[in-house]
Amino acid sequence: MGFPALALVLNFLVSFAPQAFAKEFLNQSYGPHPRQIFDLWTPLQKTKKTPTPLVIYIHGGGWQAGTKDELRKNPRLIDIALKKGLAIASLEYRFLKHAPLQTIMKEDIGGFVQYIRSRASGFSLNKALIFAYGVSAGGSASLWLATHDDLANPDSPDPVKRESTRISGAGHLNAQVSYDFMVWYEFFGKEATDRFMGAQVYSRYHLHSIEDLFTAKGEQIRKDLDSYGNLSSDDPPLLLWNSLQDRSEPDYNHFVHSPDHTRILSKRAKELGIPTQTEIKADGAVLRESGVTALQFFQDLLKTR
């Protein structure tokens, strides 16, 4: 191979090797469970200057599968984030076999935001500028962070628990309207919801029957997980993105990722005056790669500050 060809190959490899111009922190723990771990990449040019905004990637998998390594295996996306001056992290969280969804949301999803804020200076991160996005469950987790009341407890003896869980923007990609399935009953019908979700309408919370949803405990769980109902005018900007087409006869995958989830959220967010960027392929949008779209959305938000 001649020198010019070799140089091109080397340049290509460097451009897709984020560790070449980033600080890389792999398999870091944010909690005691083996799945409470994360990876983080921060731009070298930022670490000794101004603190860096952080983007958190939350993987999907129906709360039963998936890994933070999805991001590590996509170095091009890490490269894009770093070149935009953004740090980027990918976390794992417990599955439903380990804990109920409401606990995962508060202790793992929210808990990671509190943890990383508490360590922001050590990683040279700007704790005031944290964004989150993901596909499917990861997108819904990001929306949950954007819409849920702050979990910070200023009186806690644990400094991590005193940190805020609020974020500056969220990317909801092929994700769900709410994790209160009564909202699904309202918009998609009880028959279809029961047909596709079955016992998940209560078992995700480690409850034993649908009747448990209407106890004091069940109603509190539903309220905590109802991102649609918790939308309010003070929520941060939202990217609502969906790559599916409409289908008259959906299967399970289409039902839980339908463009209607996105349309319903977009309509409500706009009614409330929440800054919202909506991209739905079924409505004629020409979509770019989801992660690229999310990173550009967050960078654009920083330009307005």
Q: Give per-residue pLDDT as tens, 72-101.
A: 999 999 999 999 999 999 999 999 999 999
pTM, rounded to two decimals: 0.92
- Provide DSSP, the chain: --HHHHHHHHHHHHHT-GGGGEEEEEEEESSSSTT-EEEEEEEHHHHTSSPEEEEEEE--STTTS--THHHHT-HHHHHHHHHTT-EEEEE----TTTS-HHHIIIIIIHHHHHHHHHTHHHHTEEEEEEEEEEETHHHHHHHHHHHSPP---TT-SSTTTTS----SEEEEES--S-S-HHHHHHHH-HHHHHHHHTTHHHHTTT-SSGGGGGSHHHHHHHHHH-HHHH--TTSPPEEEEE-PPP-SS--HHHHHH-HHHHHHHHHHHHHHT--EEEEEGGGT-----HHHHHHHHHHHHHHT-
pLDDT band at 195 (very low <50, low <70, confident <90, very high): very high
Domains located in the chain, CATH noted: 19-178+235-303 (3.40.50.1820)
pLDDT band at 50 (very low <50, low <70, confident <90, very high): confident
